[in-house]
Structure 1
Amino acid sequence: MFPLLNEFIEELMDLNQKKFAAFMVDLDGTLIGRDEKIAPRVAKTVRRLSEKIRVCIATGREPRDAIRFARELGLTSPQVCDNGALILDPTTGNEVWSAPPLGERQAHYIVTTLISRKVPFWATHPGGTVTQASQITHWNFTRVSALDVVEDVAEELLAHFRLHPELHVVKVFLPYNGLWAIDFTTRGVTKATAAKWLGRILGIDPANMIGAGDSYNDLPMLEVCGLRIAMGEAPDELKALADYVAPSVDDDGLAVAIEEFVLPRLI
């Protein structure tokens, strides 16, 4: 008589029956706030969660940031950076898995286009990061990001690159300054790719993972995770997919989500 209600009840029962074994959490706007720090309540709650299941940061930032925040929280599980292109051991800093690099032709095209438009960029490679043309000695980049642009410019860049057959291109909000970034990885390389590889490494099906994020680059990750959390300031696309919409990062939304929605499912 009430098919929609019955469908909702079945989905809720399915969520409650799953055995969740890992938590993938975005960094900016989810784990850390505009001040680029982990709030005390959030840190305490994430540490408590890490005593029960694996906790893996999944960020578009470079390796050093993923390692720094993982170590601050005492996390020992593999961590994801470069928007899903690299998985690292936070205790040693060593690479666990990496995606194919962008390739010389694609990397050159991206960087020269950004330089010609006077757009700041970061380009990461196995040996570090470059931010200026004068620092480039090769084109073996894992990920390139156009940084600190207003949304109109971000949309222009997205429109310019999005149909490129060899690139994955995504717009990302930067909570720490209110501007936007465009992340470039090899086509098919996203946070969802990293979730699947984490699953192989840890022996955990992504359906038994929990994902939490706040921006468009988190969408693929949430799509493959079995339980999905969107932050309060996330775009509507994430909220529509989420099983739980948390308060904003400014209101310790991640801690609230873990306390009210995640931990009760792990008992």
Structure 2
Amino acid sequence: MTYKMIVLDLDDTLLRDDGTISPRNKQALMAAQEAGVKVVLASGRPTYAMKALADELELERFGSYILSFNGAKIINWKTREEPFSSTLAPETAHALYEMSIQEGVSALTYVGDDIVTEQVNEYTHIEAQITGMKIAEVPSFIEAVQVPVVKVLMVEDPDKLVRVEEKLKAKLTGKLNVMRSKPFFLEFTENGVNKGTSLNHLIKQLGIERSEVIAMGDGYNDVAMLEFAGLGVAMGNAPKEIKQLADYVTDTNMNDGVAQVVESFILNDLIPTT
């Protein structure tokens, strides 16, 4: 099989634990791009928090794309055009905030380049560290959110958030997309929007078949794209459930798992045999 696109989750997949791309991963991805393979970054991160990584991999030069906010936005990194964008109405964000209060968890969203929340805690600090965005602690979430937002997060201790997820999934099925991006992050986007549906939109635009796509990830918010891609690859550090549904399991994010897949399934096919 000749693969034309590789789609990569960021945290705990492409990135090492310190948030950097290893030299081997970068070398493999640059070689793939030089050979004409599209490298696409797909993350729950806001667009702002993906810019530096997209630039490091020179996606602008190669005319590639990023899928931010768990697929709620597709951005052409060369033109900065958005062929797909999904948002939640302010009223929907307000309703989710009210649910977070009822469930005793914190809520946050993004307005401009700020993380907006009423409650600053260890989990909002983790999001700020991951994204590089500033936290705007506001007296009223509802008053601060008066424009459409791409997604809302509920953040809390993982054990508690499991119970909240089960309850709200049952309540919101068919109305909103509810998914876990990390054990302590529960994300809400427009119904039907995830990395898989966004990837489907992108490949149709580019004339690429799903069988020609490799997708790699480690988390529950990666499931849709792993199942959609021709080759769905789970990281060695992924939970057991993610590994079980994947077509292939690679090494961990700390042991160049991404590079191993690129080398084996893409670059090796480009080396002439004698």
- Residue 129 of structure 1: how far off its partner (Å): 4.2
Q: Which digits, 9 at most, give the CA deviation of each residue in 1:118-175, with x for residues without a partner?
A: 64444236x444422436241511111224x3321220221121121311111122xx
- Residue 113 of structure 1: how far off its partner (Å): 2.9
- Which of 57, 82, 87 pairs up with 1:95? 82
- Residue 261 of structure 1: how far off its partner (Å): 3.4
The amino acid that maps onto 2:31 is R
The amino acid that maps onto 2:110 is T
Q: Which digits, 9 at most, give the CA deviation of each residue in 1:63-94, with x for residues without a partner?
A: 01222211111113011000010011224544
Q: Is contact 2:48-2:113 (8 Å) kept?
A: no
Pair 1:36-2:43 in alignment: no
SS of corresponding position for 2:14: coil
2:66 is matched with: 79
- Residue 37 of structure 1: how far off its partner (Å): 1.2
The amino acid that maps onto 2:12 is G
Equivalenced residue count is 242
The amino acid that maps onto 1:166 is K
- With the length of structure 1 as denominator, give the TM-score of the two structures: 0.82
- Which of 195, 216, 227 pairs up with 1:212? 216
CA–CA distance in 2 between the matches of 1:265 and 1:80? Answer: 27
- With the length of structure 2 as denominator, give the TM-score of the two structures: 0.80
CA–CA distance in 1 between the matches of 2:226 and 2:185? Answer: 20
Q: Which digits, 9 at most, give the CA deviation of each residue in 1:95-131, with x for residues without a partner?
A: 23212x2233321121233356564444236x44442
The amino acid that maps onto 1:47 is M
Give the stretch that moved more between structures: 81-90 or 106-115. 106-115
The amino acid that maps onto 1:41 is R
Pair 1:244-2:248 in alignment: yes
Q: Is contact 2:214-2:230 (8 Å) kept?
A: yes
- TM-align CA RMSD: 2.1
CA–CA distance in 2 between the matches of 1:167 and 1:201? Answer: 25
CA–CA distance in 2 between the matches of 1:130 and 1:65? Answer: 12
The amino acid that maps onto 1:145 is L
Alpha carbons of 1:207 and 1:221: their partners in 2 closer, same or farther (altered >3 Å)?
same
1:114 is matched with: 100
Q: Post-superposition, which runs of at least 4 consecutive aligned residues in structure 1 deviate over 4 A?
A: 115-118
CA–CA distance in 1 between the matches of 2:231 and 2:224? Answer: 13
Q: Is contact 2:44-2:71 (8 Å) kept?
A: yes
1:156 is matched with: 163
Q: Is contact 2:3-2:266 (8 Å) kept?
A: no
Consecutive unaligned residues in structure 1, runs of 5 or more = 1-17, 174-178
CA–CA distance in 1 between the matches of 2:219 and 2:195? Answer: 12
1:142 is matched with: 150
- Residue 265 of structure 1: how far off its partner (Å): 4.3
- Which of 180, 183, 200 pairs up with 1:196? 200
CA–CA distance in 2 between the matches of 1:33 and 1:183? Answer: 23
Q: Is contact 2:103-2:164 (8 Å) kept?
A: no
Alpha carbons of 1:130 and 1:242: their partners in 2 closer, same or farther (altered >3 Å)?
same
CA–CA distance in 1 between the matches of 2:23 and 2:92? Answer: 42
- Which of 219, 234, 237 pairs up with 1:233? 237
CA–CA distance in 2 between the matches of 1:114 and 1:219? Answer: 25
Pair 1:62-2:46 in alignment: yes
SS of corresponding position for 1:95: coil
CA–CA distance in 1 between the matches of 2:166 and 2:252? Answer: 29
- Residue 205 of structure 1: how far off its partner (Å): 2.1
CA–CA distance in 2 between the matches of 1:167 and 1:226? Answer: 27
- Which of 21, 26, 47 pairs up with 2:9? 26
The amino acid that maps onto 2:264 is E
- Residue 35 of structure 1: how far off its partner (Å): 0.9
Alpha carbons of 1:188 and 1:120: their partners in 2 closer, same or farther (altered >3 Å)?
same
